[in-house]
Structure 1
Amino acid sequence: MDRKKIVKALEEYLGVKSKYLGAPTFAYEVMTDDETYTIDREGKITTADENELGLEEVLNDTQNFEEPTEINEVEVIIPLDGHTGITLRNLVNMMYSKQFLIKKAFDITENIVEEDFSLGINEAKITLLEDFKEALYSLGENGCPGIKFDFQDSTITFKFLKGKWNVEKIETYSNFVAILNQKAKELKRVSPKVKSTDNEKYTFRTWLLRLGMIGDEYKQDRKVLLQNLSGNSAFRKEKPKKPQDSGE
């Protein structure tokens, strides 16, 4: 199939118009809310993550997940192994600093970490697990309603996912909190500062990649996590319009 037919097939299937980019690539770009496809001179299709796809792969990559079922609450329990007081605070700060985007990604309304708890846990002098435990009990465990720290059983329970979810999305939730937990243990310090963004998808995708959600292994997870957010995941700012080139 020649390139023009590939572009036309993508336009019809995705319901969007393509853009001809002109020199130096002479490529076509087909952009949706969830992905940006680039079709080069040879008809090769690549995604924003630079993954090469065949036309059939794109056309068969539908979002027809199984019907969601009503779930009151999903809990993911992770061992406390490898944590210190500092890394547990890192975990709280990672959640709090990106809380707005996390809540929107998972379509939840309740806070995972309350503002007062974030302020208090960062004012406390914390190094050891015991330090974090004392600060937690002093501030009140209800200040961190989305995460339960159980020092008796040495576990962390992530319990902020509620509502109608299917198996694929629950797997994404499990993968997300697991990699977040691991990254908290690797970092020396995490700031609780909340930063505004005018491109939610790009900001969250960049953060997910920094966490380690890279490559095809996490492709479906990134798709699920970004689908409720606004903006464009491929570009920080809207790409400047290029003059149309009538030639190939």
Structure 2
Amino acid sequence: MEINFNVHGKQRKKLVEQIAEYTQQRAEYQYTPTYAYQIGKYTVSKDGNLLSPDEIPAELVTYLKQQGFTSSETVKLNITYRRNELTDQDLDNLRHLIWAKGQLIKDACQLNSLSLTIDDQRVSFDWFTEVNTDDAPAYQQLIDKLVQYAKSHQRIMSTPRDESNEKYAFRCFLLRLGFIGPQYKTQRKVLLKNLTGSAAFKNQEA
């Protein structure tokens, strides 16, 4: 995940110090060629971007905002898993799951493509270019739960189907993935807001 704070010079150094204080991690300058700072798993680039291999907690973003650092309204999601974390069957399951629910996922996340980039080192989800900062954690968790679902099932044989009530169908799918309970209320709201229909009733006229 990447968030652009667009700070340079002394302001970038102050941003690094605040992240180090919040995380209780030491900031290490990386010198040439990146000129970045490394703070635990976080990186602050020379352009003032905060990068993380996974989700950047909303609490950290809020803390930085309180210190005077305002991020842009959109972020870029770079969602990648190590290739050795998934077996060939896991990948087959993941592809099948994405194929079966592809149209719902596209409509929910307003995507044009659900392509995966796979090599010997990593599996990358090239889905998101820029998304709203507030929505990014929900999209990150959706992909993580898709991966975990694929890994936890021996074989996935779902097939695509036309859905007359997208919102109800996707809500049921989210519950199957594990978006259950009040702790996922915000994520469900984000992931359902772009869909048509009723989340409460399968038949919209009910």
Letter in structure 2 aligned against 1:232: S
Higher relative contact order at CA 8 Å, sep ≥6: structure 1 or structure 2? 1
Runs of 4+ in 1 over 6 A off after TM superposition: none
Q: Say which of 82, 101, 116 aligns to 1:147.
A: 116
Letter in structure 1 aligned against 2:93: N
Cα distance change, pair 213–67 in 1 and its aligned pair in 2 (3 A)? same
Stretches of structure 2 lacking an aligned partner (at least 5 in a row): 1-69
Q: Distance in 2 between matches of 1:81 and 1:211?
A: 22
Q: Which residue does 1:235 correspond to in 2?
A: 201
Alignment RMSD (CA, Å): 2.1
Q: Distance in 1 between matches of 2:185 and 2:172?
A: 13
Cα distance change, pair 202–68 in 1 and its aligned pair in 2 (3 A)? farther
Q: Distance in 1 between matches of 2:90 and 2:137?
A: 24
Q: Distance in 2 between matches of 1:179 and 1:103?
A: 16
Residue correspondences, number: 137
Q: Which residue does 2:91 correspond to in 1?
A: 88
Letter in structure 2 aligned against 1:94: L
Return the index of the structure with the highest Cα Rg. 1
Question: Does the CA contact (< 8 Å) of 1:77 and 1:156 recur in 2?
Answer: yes
The two structures have a TM-score, normalised by structure 2, of 0.60
Pairing of 1:157-172 with structure 2 (within 5 A): 157-163=124-130, 165-172=131-138
Pairing of 1:61-210 with structure 2 (within 5 A): 69=73, 73-109=76-112, 111-112=113-114, 146-151=115-120, 153=121, 155-163=122-130, 165-210=131-176
Stretches of structure 1 lacking an aligned partner (at least 5 in a row): 1-65, 113-145, 241-248
Q: Distance in 1 between matches of 2:119 and 2:183?
A: 31
Percent of pairs with identical residues: 31
Shift of 1:215: 1.1
Shift of 1:217: 2.1
Shift of 1:239: 5.7
**SS of equivalent residue, structure 2 residue 126:** strand
**SS of equivalent residue, structure 1 residue 214:** coil
